[in-house]
Structure 1
Amino acid sequence: MTKSFISNWCLTFNDFHFLSAVLCWVTTQKEFIGPEGGSLTVQCRYGSHYADHVKYWCHGGTRIFLSIFDDPARLMFTVTINDLKETDSGWYSCGVELASRADDVAYTEVKVFHVCCIFMISAGVSVVNSMVSGEEGSSLTVQCLYTQRFRYLKKWCRSGDPSSCLSTGSEASYEDTSVTISDDRTGAFTVTLKKLQMRDADWYLCSAGQQQVAVQVQVRPHGSTSKLIKSLSYFRHKKHNKLHF
């Protein structure tokens, strides 16, 4: 099957669910939660046919130009919102621009809360910053917040690898040569990654009970001054009046 045939199939016969479900889709979590003043990273996943398409982030039907990182190898793009405000709460959409039909989008709700109000969050688990970074050889800390009904078992896992999970025991802590987990049992547990290596850069999950939230860990090479986030530079095509990157 050629790429052009797949393209026509996706755009013209999208009601045939079995192929469109494999190649032509956009999805994300139903909600993302973050504390006022912190940051939030939204993961938007898409089908393989959309790897070369324009990606965007919308609020109320308006495209918002924030830091967006597209990773075609993992079929995922991420949007980072910094310095969260309560007014940032609301419905958003991850979008993929299409030429021959309506864009493909997935909707999610962003909820921003005061740290003092963490126990009112229905989802139960959140993080102070959903993206953290550090230099190779140094340490970094992730603070995970939870409601009291999830105050028992806590886990730190590499996303997509259940065998990597590290959990707190009866002492509410865990420690080895590269990771320390400390639970204060009052609504927060802290994960410290020690002696960072480049291979530590990945997506991780803070888990409490059956609830979990994603955290992106980025590692800079020792002595590097390069930027961690690739910000897509959008420009308006004068002839077609479309957004590209």
Structure 2
Amino acid sequence: MDEAQLRVWCSAINHLHFPSGFLSEAELSVMEGQSLTVPCHYEPQYAGYVKYWCRGKMRGFCTSLARTDTANPAAGKVSMSDDPVQLVSTVTMSDLKEGDSGWYLCGVELGGAWTADAVTETYIQVIHGMSVVNSRLSGEEGSSVTVECHYSERYRDSQKKWCRTGDWSSCLLTGSEGSYNDTSVAIRDDGSRTFTVTLKNLQMKDTGWYWCCAGQHKEHVHVIVTPRPSTTAVTVTSRPTASLSLAYLPPPKPITKESCNSHSHIMESFLVCASFLILLGLAILVRKLWKRHRQDPMLRQVKMIKARHNEGSGDVGDPQSAAVVFLNRDCQEAYMH
């Protein structure tokens, strides 16, 4: 290679561009038979470019699985979408097998002769065995808790077990229909690589470690039962009771024109009744005074006659000297005539 050719080759090397700023997960693990979603975030300058997903570690030897500009070669198994607003392309791989483990590239196709694509490497490991969603569960005494146990595709037809650690005789197994049920435990296998275990009516003695088993694989689960809160009676004295009763009294009604009118009507009715009672009392008093006034002259006349009779001479029993007194004035006048 002469000096001129060397100068051109070095110039080409200097113009090569290896972009950075493409972010993704470096290593991912997934259970066999399950699906996996990989987000590939990129920088704003790559928003208008084509994104791709391929299997391999080098672009020149990478088998294309999905692109954003054409139909996916592995349609049904792998799909890819792009969101230039959020600056992320999303890859979804479904029904993964153990043979799908390996290196993958998520890239932006820049298309320049001297410009390399912006790529990021991701290693995907497909494993078989078991996993649990939550390995630590807590429930109140008398309640229920449920644990989800996931298993790989090869254990679909295997018998599922729920055991207490250290005691294989405590294991509960699913039957031919893939389920088990009694008063304290219910196990259900839906055949889609997940079986659930529900512990019912928890007791304090249920606290401990358990195994979620499929085939020869098992995952530990720790269950904690908390005591049921006790209800204590609260003694309420007379003062708090009074304050509580006052707290529930209805709020006072606002004073309005209508309420003032109703109050004035009530006062008027009260004044009319009071005036009537006063007049009635005065009438009764006047009547009594009038009767007493009419009787006073007759009483005085009787007293005068008695006094004359006592002063006069003669036999008291003489009927001729006796005076006839009429209390009725009309009868007296009639007699005298």
TM-score, length-scaled by structure 1: 0.44
Q: Give the number of the structure whose residues are more often strand, by fraction.
A: 1
TM-score, length-scaled by structure 2: 0.32
Q: Give the number of the structure whose residues are more often helix, by fraction.
A: 2
If asked which structure has higher relative contact order (CA below 8 Å, sep 6+), I would say: 1
